[in-house]
A and B are shown apart, each in its own frame.
Chain A
Amino acid sequence: DQQVKQNSPSLSVQEGRISILNCDYTNSMFDYFLWYKKYPAEGPTFLISISSIKDKNEDGRFTVFLNKSAKHLSLHIVPSQPGDSAVYFCAAGGTSYGKLTFGQGTILTVHP
């Protein structure tokens, strides 16, 4: 039962262009969503989050959009940089503590 899905295993983008990573969820009880970035042999690092009462949150080059009716969220990275190349995980939470449900991840490759 995959409650959080990232349907694109990989994404390749040219440096300077926009990267759009997508995530779908099925559980209406989730009330916050996060994106984590992970390099090989390292742990995930927090990138950006959004509460279910909002539809957009922006932090520098990173913007997360939430469409509750479609149960869909996306992460936009503009402009993309080679250092952004990593695995990106979408995660969702519905408790008052850090119990998160993760998607399978999308490998982003940004070409110089």
Chain B
Amino acid sequence: NAGVMQNPRHLVRRRGQEARLRCSPMKGHSHVYWYRQLPEEGLKFMVYLQKENIIDESGMPKERFSAEFPKEGPSILRIQQVVRGDSAAYFCASSPSRLAGTGELFFGEGSRLTVL
């Protein structure tokens, strides 16, 4: 039973380019979360998606960031016109249900974005 798969594991972009991070949830999981970890900090919630729907995007920066989870295929976190401050580890997590009361999530290994 494969875990949460994220790719690429490492991505280098120059300022102004676009970054696309992909996440395939665990089999049978239809709920996906994206978290960001800046250096020396904890993980910060960005967005929660179910298939074809964004449920909570309260942690997403208002500009340049977008996320989707289409009916078919992986969830995608897109960062347009990257800046150095976007350099971070981006973690995807999935769950089989809405998780009333426990919050237990299964995390991927993360995608490390470096902006030059």
Residues of A at the B interface (CB closer than 8 Å) are 4, 6, 31-32, 34, 36, 41-46, 49, 51, 89, 91, 93, 95-105
Contacts of A41 in B (CB 8 A): 109-110
Shortest Cβ distance from A51 into B: residue: B101
Please tell me which stretch of B41-49, B60-68, B70-78 contacts chain A, meaning at least 4 of its Cβ atoms lie within 8 angstroms of it: B41-49
- Please tell me the number of chain B residues within 8 Å of chain A, measured between CB atoms: 31
Q: Given the known A-B contacts A42-B109, A46-B104, are A97 and B42 also in contact in the complex, defined by CB atoms under 8 Å?
A: no
Contacts of A100 in B (CB 8 A): 43, 45, 103, 105
Can you list 16 A-B pairs with a CB-CB distance of less than 8 A? A4-B42, A43-B4, A43-B93, A43-B107, A43-B108, A43-B109, A89-B43, A91-B103, A93-B103, A96-B99, A99-B45, A99-B48, A99-B59, A101-B45, A102-B44, A104-B40
B109 in contact with A98 (CB, 8 Å): no
Residue from A41, A49, A98 whose CB has the most chain B CB atoms within 10 Å: A98
Report how many A-B pairs have Cβ atoms within 8 Å: 78
A97 in contact with B40 (CB, 8 Å): no
A44 in contact with B43 (CB, 8 Å): yes
Give Cα A51 to B104, complex, Å.
Answer: 12
Contacts of B40 in A (CB 8 A): 104
**Smallest CB–CB gap between A17 and chain B, Å?**
26
**Smallest CB–CB gap between A25 and chain B, Å?**
12
